[in-house]
Amino acid sequence: MDNNKLKKLVAKEAVTQISDGMIIGLGTGSTMKYVLEYLSDQVKNGLNIYGIPTSENTAKLAKQLEIPLLSFKEVNRLDLAIDGADEVDANFNLIKGGGGALLREKIIADSSKSFIVVIDKTKLVEQLGAFLLPVEIIPFGWEITAQKVESLGGVSTLRNFYNQPYVTDNGNYILDCDFGFIDNPGNLEKNLNSIIGVVDSGLFINMTNKVLVSDEHSIKTLDNIM
């Protein structure tokens, strides 16, 4: 089964977790595109929810699909956030940010009563780190910030888009970092966040207790007691 089919399967299951009246954090990425499509069908059938998007791309797609949106000017609570991930380890730690939206994704996941991660089985790993870790940094002095990031034991590459630095929705740059397999993701997150110039990393530690995983045969719900 190709990955898109697996993404669609898990997306459909994720939408069953949404109930009337909820305010939902809407993640970013190709799995979330399917979640939005299924959610749009439900909204057209009368489901009454509002979404808060984690990126301009998600906002644009949600508007096209007629999913009603709110912003933090209008709400101070989210019932549920749903998002994809690039890697999930056995302790439910995540690498996110392949799509460049890690900062807003983290703000929204952190503000939600519950955070469900939707992945296909290829994203489940023993140890994080095969996927390059995205780190969002301030453009000013990015070169020196990159050196400080590398002093933690990694190799960093400035993310590019059409031969220019990739710019996030927040006006920042992204370093894609190779730290090898990450022995202590919690420590690395703390060390990265202590560097002036780093805004945040794509390490999501202790943020979710529910991961939906699709494989060829089924959707599994992994629950973690945090």
Closest to ligand 5RP by CB, 99 vs 185, is 99
- The residue (of 97 and 197) whose beta carbon lies closer to ligand 5RP is 97
Chain Cα centroid distance, residue 24: 14
* Euclidean distance between CA atoms 134 and 98, whole angstroms: 7
Determine the Cα–Cα distance for residues 42 and 53; give it in Å rounded to an integer: 17
We find the least distance from the C-beta atom of residue 120 to ligand 5RP, in angstroms, to be 8
Q: Is 143 a catalytic residue?
A: no
Q: How far apart are CA 132 and CA 98, in angstroms?
A: 8
| Comparison of 48 and 107: residue with beta carbon closer to ligand 5RP | 107
Residues in the chain, total: 226
Binding residues for ligand 5RP, per CB under 6 A? Answer: 27-31, 83-86, 96-102, 105
**Rounded Cα gap, residues 133 and 86, in angstroms:** 9
- Min dist. Cβ of residue 184 to ligand 5RP (A): 21
Q: How many of the other CB atoms lie within 10 Å of CB of 124?
A: 17
In the chain, helix, strand, coil percent, each to 5? 30, 30, 40
Is 83 strand, coil or helix? strand
Minimum distance from CB of 134 to ligand 5RP (Å)?
7
Do residues 28 and 54 touch, judged by C-beta distance below 8 A?
A: yes
Q: CB of 160: closest distance to ligand 5RP in angstroms?
A: 16
User: What interhelical angle do 30-44 and 56-64 show, nearest 10?
Assistant: 30
Question: Of 105, 126, 136, 143, which residue is the catalytic one?
Answer: 105
Nearer residue to ligand 5RP within complex by CB, 92 or 225:
92
Q: Minimum distance from CB of 97 to ligand 5RP (Å)?
A: 5
Q: Which is nearer to ligand 5RP, 48 or 157 (CB)?
A: 157
Catalytic residue numbers, as ranges: 105
